[in-house]
Chains A and B, each alone.
Chain A
Amino acid sequence: MEGLSRRYGTVVALDHLDLTVQPGELVVLLGPSGCGKTTTLRLLAGLEDTDTGSITVGGRDITWLPASKRDMGMVFQAYSLFPHMTVRQNVAFGLRLRRVGAAERDRRAMEMLELVGLTEQANRYPHQLSGGQQQRVALARALAIQPQVLLLDEPLSALDAKVRAQLRDQIRRIQLEVGITTLFVTHDQEEALAIADRVGVMREGRLEQLAPPVEVYSRPATSFVAEFVGLTNRLAGEVQAGQLTVRGCTLPLVDSATPDGLAVALVRPEAVTLASHDAPESGPLVGTVIAVTFLGATSRVTVDLGDATIMAQLPTADATALPAGSRVALTIRPDPVLVSAGSDQAVPLPEEEA
Chain B
Amino acid sequence: MAAVTSVGETPLAVPARRQAGMQAGRRRRLNLFRYVVFTVFGLFFALPLLAMARFSLEGAKLGTWSLTAWRQITSYTSSEGIPPLISAVEITLELAVITSAVMLVLVVPTMIWIRLRVRWLARAMEFLCLLPLTIPPIVLVVGLGPIYDKIAHLSLSALMLFWVYVILALPYAYRALAAGLSAIDATTLSEAARSLGASWFSVIVRVIVPNMWDAVLNALILTWALVLGEFTVAFFLLYVNLQVELYSISRNTPDAGVIFSTSTASLLFAFVLLLILSYVGRRRRAIRG
**Which residues of chain A come closer than 8 Å to B213, judged between CB atoms?**
84
Interface string of A74-106 (1 = CB under 8 A from B): 101011111110000000011001100000000
A94 and B196 form a contact (CB under 8 A): yes
B189 and A145 form a contact (CB under 8 A): no
A54–B265 Cα distance when bound, in Å, is 68
Task: Say whether, besides A82-B211, A84-B210, A76 and B197 are in contact (CB < 8 Å).
Answer: no
B202 and A47 form a contact (CB under 8 A): no
**Which residues of chain B come closer than 8 Å to A68, judged between CB atoms?**
194-195, 197-199
Is B64 located at the chain interface by the 8 A CB criterion?
no
Contact residue range for chain A?
Answer: 20 to 34
Contact residue range for chain B?
Answer: 20 to 34
Is B9 located at the chain interface by the 8 A CB criterion?
no
**Which residues of chain B come closer than 8 Å to A55, judged between CB atoms?**
none
A291–B178 Cα distance when bound, in Å, is 53
**Which residues of chain A come closer than 8 Å to B193, judged between CB atoms?**
82, 93
B197 and A80 form a contact (CB under 8 A): no
B196 and A47 form a contact (CB under 8 A): no
B196 and A97 form a contact (CB under 8 A): yes
- Residues 12-59 (chain A) with a chain B CB within 8 angstroms: 45-47
Minimal beta-carbon separation of B202 from chain A (angstroms): 6
A76 and B199 form a contact (CB under 8 A): no
Is A141 located at the chain interface by the 8 A CB criterion?
yes
Minimal beta-carbon separation of B198 from chain A (angstroms): 6
A74 and B211 form a contact (CB under 8 A): no
**Which residues of chain A come closer than 8 Å to B188, judged between CB atoms?**
76, 78-80
**Which residues of chain B come closer than 8 Å to A125, judged between CB atoms?**
289
Is B151 located at the chain interface by the 8 A CB criterion?
no
Minimal beta-carbon separation of B132 from chain A (angstroms): 32
A83–B184 Cα distance when bound, in Å, is 9
A80 and B198 form a contact (CB under 8 A): no
B211 and A67 form a contact (CB under 8 A): no
Closest to A74 in B: B195
Is A195 located at the chain interface by the 8 A CB criterion?
no
Is A69 located at the chain interface by the 8 A CB criterion?
yes
A110–B112 Cα distance when bound, in Å, is 32
Is B52 located at the chain interface by the 8 A CB criterion?
no
- The 3 A-B pairs at the shortest CB distance, nearest first, are namely A94-B196, A80-B192, A74-B195
Interface of A with B (CB < 8 Å)? 45-47, 66-74, 76, 78-84, 93-94, 97-98, 125, 138, 141-142, 145, 151
If A46-B194, A71-B197, A84-B211 are given as contacts, then 19 extra A-B residue pairs at C-beta distance below 8 Å, sorted by A number, are: A45-B195, A46-B195, A47-B194, A47-B195, A66-B194, A67-B191, A68-B195, A68-B197, A68-B198, A73-B195, A76-B191, A78-B185, A80-B185, A93-B198, A97-B198, A98-B197, A138-B192, A142-B195, A145-B197
14 contacts between A and B (CB under 8 A): A45-B195, A47-B191, A67-B194, A67-B195, A68-B198, A68-B199, A73-B195, A78-B185, A79-B185, A81-B192, A83-B211, A84-B210, A93-B196, A94-B197
Interface of B with A (CB < 8 Å)? 184-185, 188-189, 191-199, 202, 207, 210-211, 213, 288-289
